[in-house]
Amino acid sequence: MKRFLITLFLLGGMLGSAQAQQVNWGIGGRLGDPAGFSLKHYQPGKALEINFGRAYFFSGSQYYKKHFTDWYFKKHGYEYYNFYGYHNTFPWGLQVHFLRQKPLTQLDVKGLQWYYGAGAQLRWQTLYYSYRYRNENKGEWIYVDREQYTNLDLGLDGVIGVEYFIPEVPLSLFTDFNLFLELVDYPSLRGQGSLGLRYTF
């Protein structure tokens, strides 16, 4: 009985060790959209990726000006208006991707893999618009200062990329291209990219 228990304990430890070797994690940062934190959970042939950070990294002020025009005509619809400016809070973005990951054997580089997959993306921030408008009868101007609007974008992602696991060093470099199909609240299709580094364990 004693030998049986010892054998069972050793087998359990070996199985647990084998499972631990099959499950790896990567944690690090990325530049892109969103720019910030990146977490990846690796399993044989697949991975789960979560990215969180600053959204609209490459959009600039033109995005907010265009967004105001669309928002204004939905709300008021009057032809006569002047846009004075905007203020915005920090824009956040969250991506969750389910990936298939495989060695990139065509290049014969140890540690080089490619991946593809799909997932969802959520982006949000608060905007404050200042403007004036008047109705079609050209009456008095109505001035609006810092009107608050919460912008919430939700949609689907399609991603493809490459990741290089540096031999004998617990680091990986990655770059990818993401196609974001926004479904809420302004349906559109836009490209996103990233470059990053993770510590793997």
Looking at residue 5, its pLDDT comes to: 41
The domain locations on the chain are: 25-200
Looking at residue 154, its pLDDT comes to: 98
Looking at residue 60, its pLDDT comes to: 58
Pick out the chain residues at pLDDT < 70. Answer: 1-23, 59-62
Q: Which residues contact 96 (CB under 8 A, 6 or more apart)?
A: 48, 49, 50, 119, 120, 121
DSSP assignment letter at 169: S
Report d(CA 149, CA 14) in Å as an integer: 56
**What is the CATH code of the structural domain delimited by 25-200?**
2.40.160.20
Looking at residue 75, its pLDDT comes to: 84
Q: Which has the closest alpha carbon to 201: 23, 79, 6?
A: 23
Report d(CA 127, CA 64) in Å as an integer: 9
Looking at residue 20, its pLDDT comes to: 40
Residue 77 main-chain phi, psi, to 5 deg: 80, 0
Alpha carbon 8 to its chain's center: 45
**β-strand partners of 182:** 155, 188
Looking at residue 166, its pLDDT comes to: 95
Looking at residue 26, its pLDDT comes to: 98
